[in-house]
Amino acid sequence: MSYHNLPELLALDSAVQGVRIPPDVTVPLTPRVRALLDTPSLHRLSRVSQLGLVALVYPGAVHSRLEHSLGVYRLALEFLAHLRRDQRFVAAISEDDAAAFTVAALAHDIGHWPFCHPIEDMGLAELPRHETLVASLLNQGETREILISQWRLDPARIAALIDGTATDRAGRLLHSLLSGPIDVDKMDYLARDSLHAGVPYGRHFDQSRLLSSLCLDEAGEALAITDKGRTAAELMVFARYVMFSEVYWHHAVRAATCMLQRVVWLLRDQIDVPQLIRMDDRTCIGWLQTASRGTPTEPLVEGLFGASRGLLKRVTTFDALSHPALHRALAGRSYADKAQVSAHLAASLSAALGRPIPPETLIVDAPPAEREVEFNLQVRGRPAHQEAAPLWHTLAELSPVVRSLAREQFDNIVKRVRLFAPADLAGEIAAFPALEELLLKASTANGQSNQTQ
C-alpha cells in the first residue's frame, strides 16, 4: 500500500488552510497535526529559542524551535512528494511509514531543553542527550493518546525513526531523510537560521534543484542524489561551512557559549535533569540566576542574561595551520580537561602578572573532534549507454570543494582554539610575551581529572 493518500501530503497539494512561517511559506495543518501541536510537549518548543545565545550577537535570531519544527515538517512532505517518482522508495514505504516519518519530522526536537546544544557539547555524564528523551516524551499523556487514537501509530516507531534505532529497511531509509548528509533538518535550519540572523550564507543553495534530484542510494537503504543535484549539494556544503564560520562559531558567540558552559560545569551538582527537560528559556534563565547568586558564576550569568550584556573578550586565537602543536594538544579534549587547562593557565598568569586572575573567568575554548561538515553522500551518474547500470560515486570523490571544506578548511581554520578573559584583563594577557608557551605547558600539565573544578 503506497502513501499517496497520506492526508498531510494531500493537504500540501491543495489549497488547505495552514499556518504561515517565514519566508512566506504556508505549512498545511490537518486536524491530527493541529492536535499534536497543541500538546504541552510540542507547545513548549514555542518558548525555546532555536539558536539561544546566538541572539546576543545576531539580534534577529530569536526564532523558536517550534517554527523550525514546522519548517522541517513541511520539508518532510516535500521529500515524500518528490520521492513518489522513485519506484524503489514507493515500494519500500507504506502509508503508516510515511505518517510516522511526518510525525517524526514535526516532533524531532521534542527532547530539546533550552541552550541544549552547547550544554550537550560538554559531554557530561550527568546529562542525557536530547535524542534519548524522545521515546519517553512521545509515550506519555496527551501525546501518546493522540498518536494512538488519531494517527494509529506506535510512539516507539516514531522515536526509532528520530533516534536512529530502527532496524528495518523502511526505518533506516526514513531515518536517513531525517538525519543524513542531506536531510529535512539541515535544509530547514540552514535557510531559517540565515534568514533570522540577517546573513545570506545559509540561503544560497538551490533547494528546489536538490529536491528534484533526490533518489535512493545503490543499496536502496539511504537517501542519495542524481548527478543533476551535485552542484546544489556542493552549495549546501558550502552554506553549512560558512554558517559555522560566520554565525555558529563566531568568536563572540563562542565567548557566550564558553560562559554558559563554565556556569553549567560549576553548578552541575545542582542540576535536576527531570526539571531541566521541562524548562523553557525563561524558566531556565531564572534557575541559572537563582543558582548562581553569591557564587563565582554570578558575573558570568549576569553577563549573559542580566540588564546589560557583558561577554568575555577574545584574548587570542590559534588555528591548526599557524599553531599545529597547540591546536593538536587541545582539540578534541574533554570538558574536564579544558577546565583543568584553564585553571593551570590562570594560576601561571596570576604569578607572572602579579595579579589574581579568577580561574572561572579565564576560559580555553577548544573544538570538538567531530566534523560538522562531513558529507558522505552517494551520487548516481549517467551511464554511457542507456541500458547500462547507473554509475555510483560519493560526493567527496566527485568534488574537491567538498573534500577541502570538510577535511581541511573547516578543521584547520574554522575550528580554532580561543582564549577568553574579562575585558579588564584581556589586553594585558594578550600582551604577555610567553602566552602561547604557558598555554602549551598548561595543556600538558599532569594531574588532570574529570572531577576538577
Average pLDDT across the chain, whole number: 91
Q: Given this model, what pLDDT does residue 227 score?
A: 94
Q: Considering the entire predicted model, what is its pTM?
A: 0.93
Cα 42 to the chain's mean position, in Å?
Answer: 18
pLDDT exceeds 90 at position 25: yes
Smallest CA-to-CA distance from 289 within 275, 272, 269, 307 is with: 307
Residue positions counted in the chain: 453
Question: What is the structure's pLDDT at 406?
Answer: 66
Cα 265 from Cα 18, distance rounded (Å) = 43
pLDDT of res. 364: 96
Q: What is the pLDDT of residue 126?
A: 80
Cα–Cα dist 105/110, whole Å: 10
pLDDT of residue 372: 57
What is the C-alpha separation between 407 and 152, in angstroms, rounded?
44
Output the pLDDT for position 1.
Answer: 58
Q: What is the pLDDT of residues 30-84, one digit of tens each?
A: 999 999 999 999 999 999 999 999 999 999 999 999 999 999 999 999 999 999 9
Question: 223-226 and 363-365: which strand pairing?
Answer: unpaired
Quick one: what percent of the chain has pLDDT higher than 70? 94
CB contact at 8 A, 124 and 108? no
* pLDDT tens digits along 355-366: 999 999 999 999
What is the structure's pLDDT at 175? 96
Tell me if the bond preceding 383 is cis, omega within 30° of 0. no
What is the pLDDT at residue 407? 64
Residue 450 has pLDDT above 50, yes or no: no
pLDDT band at 400 (very low <50, low <70, confident <90, very high): confident
**Which residue type sits at 77?**
L
pLDDT at residue number 384: 66
* CB hemisphere CA count around 369 (13 angstroms): 7
CA 135, chain centre distance (Å): 20
When pLDDT is cut at 50, 70 and 90, the band that residue 423 belongs to is very high
pLDDT confidence of residue 447? 43
Q: Are 104 and 174 in contact (CB under 8 A)?
A: yes
| Phi, psi at 172, each rounded to 5° | -65, -40
Do 375 and 402 contact (CB within 8 A), yes or no? yes
Whose cell is 535544509? That residue is 187
Q: When comparing pLDDT for 121 and 16, which is higher?
A: 121
Q: How confident is the model at residue 369 (pLDDT cuts 50, 70, 90)?
A: low
Average pLDDT over residues 244-264: 96
> d(Cα 293, Cα 286) in Å, to the nearest integer?
11
Put residue 447 in one of left, alpha, beta given phi > 0 → left and psi -120 to 50 → alpha: left
Burial class (CB in 10 A: 0-12, 13-18, 19+), 341: buried
Give the pLDDT confidence of 87-129 residue by residue, as tens digits: 999 999 999 999 999 999 999 999 999 999 999 999 888 888 8
For residue 105, the tally of other CB atoms under 10 A from its CB is 30
Give 439 or 390, the one with higher predicted confidence.
Answer: 439
* Cα–chain center distance at 86: 30
Q: Is the pLDDT of residue 262 over 50?
A: yes
CA distance 375 to 181: 5
**DSSP structure class, residue 18:** E
Q: Which domains does the chain have, with CATH numbers?
A: 7-198 (1.10.3210.10)
Residue 345 to residue 374: CA distance in whole angstroms: 33
